[in-house]
Each structure stands twice: as C-alpha cells, then as structure tokens.
C-alpha cells in the first residue's frame, strides 16, 4: 500500500480546505495510507494558496523543503492556485507534477489510480465530522462560547452564530457550488488560477443538500470562490439556487460565504426576500474598501452607498443574521482619506477581516506605484486595532440588546 502525506498551505480558505478533504478521501478510496511525515511518504501532496504574496512564498518554501527531504523515489505533487500563478514555470523546471484546483480526474491521472469505482460527485461535498485533519484548527472560540452558554442557561443568537461561523469546523456540512469568479479585480492573483465561473448543476447541489439533511446534519456551508456569481455561466443566478435550498422544509442553518457586493446589488430584491429566512445565519460581503475612488482603481464596479443601504435593509429583515466582510488596506494610491472612509464602514458589519495589500506579479495593480512598506504596515496595524475594538463593541451591544 502506497503512503501519502498531504499538507494544506492556505490560511483558512474554505475552498482550499474542502479540496484537501476531497483529495484525502480520493486517495484513501484508491488504497493509499496517510502518514504524518513527508519523509515516510511515497506521494507528497501540497495544496497551495496564492491569494497573498506571503502564501506564494510559503508554497515556494514548502516545495523546496519537500524536494530536499522526500525519499528519492517519492512523487511530489502540487495542487491549489499557486501552480497556475507560477508564470515562470519553476515547477516544471523542478520536475514537479501539478493539477488544477479540485480536479480529481487530473490527480487520478498523476498517481495512476482509476476513477471507475469512485463516486467523484460525492467528493465535491464533505461532512468533516470526526475528520479534524481537514480543518486548519478546531473552532476553540465556539467551544468556549458553548460552555459559557451552558453556564448562563441561554444563548444570544447573534453572538452564537458569529462564533459558530468564524471558521471552518466539523460543525458544518460543506457543499461545493462551483469555482471561478465573474470579477476582474486589479489586485487579484487568484483569478489567474480559477478563471470565470463554472457552476455546479443546481440539481446536484440540492440533492446533496437533501442527503446532508437525511444524514442528520443541521449546519451547512455553501463553498465557492464567488457564490454570488453562481449560475452566470448557465443563464441563471445565485438567488435561484438559494431559493431552491430554502424551499426544503427542514430546520437547518446556512452560511453564504464570499458573496460579492456587486452580485448582491444585481439581485437585490430577490436576495432581500431570501435573506429574511432566519435559517440563513451568516453572509460574507467582501467590500474591500470604503472609498469609491479606490474601489474603481481596484476594478470593482458597484456603489458603496448602495451596498451600505442594502445592508441596513437586510438588518431590518433579519436582525440575527451575521454580516461579515473582508477589507484591503495599503492599496496603491490609498490616501488617509480613503483609509478613514473604510474605517467608517466597519459599523455596517458584525465581523471584519483585513489583509494588507499584496503586490502580486501579473496583476493589473502591480503596475501601479505602491505605498511604502512602512505606510502599509502602519495602516494594517491601525485597521486591526479598529477591528478589534469594533468586535468588542459588537459583542457588548449584542449582550445589552439581549437583556433589554
């Protein structure tokens, strides 16, 4: 029996983590045995991420280490976005095999394992219960919160859902809805890897959702590079998919991740109607910046004021829905005025994540004059401080409202 070693090099990317789960399931169904040390493996699979320069550097480093430390006859395979961003073809020079994100058939060809007796469709979704190695780390925040709720004798829905969906964990059943993005952001290197939307058929997604319900799962997470773009390649849209899922007469919790604001506005009335459903517990709308001027330079096409107004409407319709976002600070040309406009948007969201701008080769923004590394670091640290204070305020206000 061949032994394999799998390492996930992302920092919480749901797609990347889910794909690692799929690769492991495939390899084990193909008769491979997992080991904890790459030196002991016949097959080494590194699942990479390329959204930040630090993650690309991490991928390069782990590839170099693996080439040095693996057994002479061991096979090194690199998955994820990095191989498609590697325009210099350094992987080919090193004679390292690679395949496109999520493509089990390509992995099967590389490792010479037949697909005939494996249900590839079933590998698109994953119940991570009892499989902690598929998750970056346990959701300790939620485990602590549950103990506090037991001690108090009650729970506050807003805080409960905030921490429940703060990271991928075995609490959820994950459904892959497809890959790709309809945007062309000037800062994004991932689009080079994932391409335009390639949506999974709606019947397939809904049938697997029903299977999860029948197996006893209550918590579901729709995984996509851009959930809002689902269906644009099939003449339909994501509100149609969500409506079909919500038509299932069962109690469950649903997380909608990476729903681009532009797609929310394009489907505004339909989405507002759907988001009234209290079974939707979280949606992530990656705003990226609060500056309309900077948004244009980022290649993102929507009105920030319209997004903020829509969020107000959503809160009136579903007060317990947790609304999260992602921000970028230090983008080329960002002024202090742009920065403070972004700070002013924090109050529109419950949960906020931030990244310092990463200058990635082969992106349009790479040609723009960057801010100094010192200025980017100052604004990044300052934004993290504001976000920490904002999260503390969110928790305290939620506590106060629950007792009023």
Residues 131-168 have pLDDT tens digits of 434 444 555 666 676 677 677 776 777 888 788 777 76
In a domain, 264, yes or no: yes
The yes-or-no verdict on residue 170 having pLDDT over 90 is no
Region at 82 (left for phi over 0; alpha for psi -120 to 50; beta for the rest): alpha
Say what the pLDDT of residue 187 is: 93
Mean pLDDT for all residues in the chain: 86
Range of the domain at 25: 3-122
326 and 185 within one domain: yes
338 and 224 within one domain: yes
333 and 284 within one domain: yes
Task: Encode pLDDT of 247-294 as tens digits.
Answer: 999 999 999 989 999 999 999 999 999 999 999 999 999 999 999 999
Say what the pLDDT of residue 140 is: 63
309 and 389 within one domain: yes
Asked whether 17 and 10 are in contact (CB, 8 A), the reply is yes
Say what the pLDDT of residue 24 is: 87
In a domain, 387, yes or no: yes
3-class DSSP assignment, residue 343: helix
Say what the pLDDT of residue 133 is: 40
The yes-or-no verdict on residue 88 having pLDDT over 60 is no
The yes-or-no verdict on residue 323 having pLDDT over 50 is yes
149/170 Cα distance (integer angstroms): 19
Which of 74-83, 139-148, 365-374 is predicted with the least confidence, judged by mean pLDDT?
Answer: 139-148
145 and 103 within one domain: no
How many alpha carbons fall within 13 Å on the CB side of residue 81? Answer: 26
383 and 256 within one domain: yes
Nearest-10 crossing angle of helices 373-403, 336-344: 20
Count the domains in the chain.
2
Beta strand 43-48 with 3-8: parallel, antiparallel or unpaired? parallel
In a domain, 88, yes or no: yes
Say what the pLDDT of residue 272 is: 98
Beta strand 198-199 with 219-223: parallel, antiparallel or unpaired? unpaired
Percent of the chain clearing pLDDT 90 (strictly above): 51
**Most confident by average pLDDT, 107-111, 155-159, 306-310:** 306-310
Closest CA to 226 of 2, 5, 13, 11: 13
Sign of CA dihedral 91, 183, 295, 9: negative
Confidence of residue 244 (pLDDT cuts 50, 70, 90): very high
Say what the pLDDT of residue 135 is: 44
Confidence of residue 87 (pLDDT cuts 50, 70, 90): low
146 and 112 within one domain: no
In a domain, 129, yes or no: no
Give bridge partners of residue 217 from the DSSP assignment: none
Provide mean pLDDT across the span 119-130: 50
118 and 224 within one domain: no
The CATH number linked to 62 is 3.40.50.12160
Q: pTM for this one?
A: 0.86
The number of angstroms, rounded, from the C-alpha of 190 to the middle of its chain's C-alpha atoms is 12
Say what the pLDDT of residue 369 is: 96
3-class DSSP assignment, residue 168: coil
113/336 Cα distance (integer angstroms): 55
The number of angstroms, rounded, from the C-alpha of 251 to the middle of its chain's C-alpha atoms is 24
Alpha-carbon dihedral 298, 302, 304, 305, rounded to 10 degrees: 160
Strands (E), 130-275: 173-176, 178-179, 198-199, 219-223, 253-256
Closest CA to 173 of 120, 210, 145, 119: 210
The CATH number linked to 304 is 3.80.30.20
Give bridge partners of residue 352 from the DSSP assignment: 325
Say what the pLDDT of residue 295 is: 97
Closest CA to 219 of 184, 175, 253, 245: 253
In a domain, 133, yes or no: no
Say what the pLDDT of residue 128 is: 45
Confidence of residue 118 (pLDDT cuts 50, 70, 90): low
Closest CA to 158 of 351, 384, 314: 351
69 and 175 within one domain: no
The more confidently predicted of residues 165 and 92 is 165
Provide mean pLDDT across the span 341-367: 93
273 and 212 within one domain: yes
207 and 72 within one domain: no
User: Which letter does DSSP use for residue 288 in this model?
Assistant: B
Provide mean pLDDT across the span 11-40: 84
334 and 252 within one domain: yes
Say what the pLDDT of residue 1 is: 73
159/396 Cα distance (integer angstroms): 10
Confidence of residue 31 (pLDDT cuts 50, 70, 90): confident
Q: What count of other Cβ atoms lies within 10 Å of the Cβ of residue 393?
A: 12
């Amino acid at each position: 029996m061949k032994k394999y070693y799998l390492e996930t090099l992302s920092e919480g990317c749901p797609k990347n983590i889910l794909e690692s789960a799929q690769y492991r399931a495939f390899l084990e169904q193909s008769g491979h045995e997992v080991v904890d040390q790459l030196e002991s493996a016949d097959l080494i699979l590194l699942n990479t991420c390329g959204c930040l320069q630090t993650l690309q550097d991490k991928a390069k480093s782990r590839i170099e280490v693996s080439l040095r430390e693996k057994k002479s006859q061991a096979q090194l395979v690199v998955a994820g976005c990095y191989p498609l961003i590697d325009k210099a073809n350094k992987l080919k020079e090193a004679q390292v095999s690679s395949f496109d994100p999520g493509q089990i058939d390509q992995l099967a060809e590389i490792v010479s394992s037949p697909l005939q007796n494996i249900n590839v469709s079933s590998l698109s979704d994953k119940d991570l219960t009892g499989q902690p190695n598929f998750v970056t780390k346990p959701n300790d925040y939620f485990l602590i919160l549950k103990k506090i709720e037991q001690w108090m004798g009650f729970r506050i829905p807003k805080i409960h859902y905030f921490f429940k969906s703060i990271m991928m964990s075995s609490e959820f059943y994950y459904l892959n809805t497809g890959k790709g993005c309809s945007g062309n952001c000037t800062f994004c290197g991932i689009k080079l890897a994932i391409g335009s939307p390639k949506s999974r058929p709606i019947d397939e997604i809904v049938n697997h959702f029903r299977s999860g319900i029948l197996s006893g799962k209550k918590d579901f997470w729709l995984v996509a590079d851009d959930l809002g773009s689902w269906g644009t390649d099939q003449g339909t849209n994501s509100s149609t998919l969500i409506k079909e899922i919500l038509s299932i007469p069962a109690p469950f919790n649903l997380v909608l991740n990476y729903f681009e604001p532009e797609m929310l506005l394009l489907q505004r009335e339909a989405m507002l109607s759907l988001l009234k459903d209290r079974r939707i517990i979280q949606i992530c709308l990656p705003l990226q910046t609060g500056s309309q001027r900077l948004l244009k330079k980022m290649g993102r096409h929507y009105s920030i004021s319209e997004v903020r107004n829509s969020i107000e409407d959503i809160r009136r319709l579903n007060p317990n829905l947790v609304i999260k976002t992602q921000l970028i600070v230090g983008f080329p040309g960002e002024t202090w005025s742009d920065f403070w406009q972004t700070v002013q948007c924090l109050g529109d969201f419950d949960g906020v994540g931030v990244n310092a701008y990463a200058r990635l080769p082969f992106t349009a923004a790479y040609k723009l004059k960057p801010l100094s590394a010192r200025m980017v670091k100052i604004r990044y640290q300052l934004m993290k401080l504001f976000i920490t204070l904002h999260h503390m305020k969110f928790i305290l206000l939620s506590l106060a409202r629950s007792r009023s």
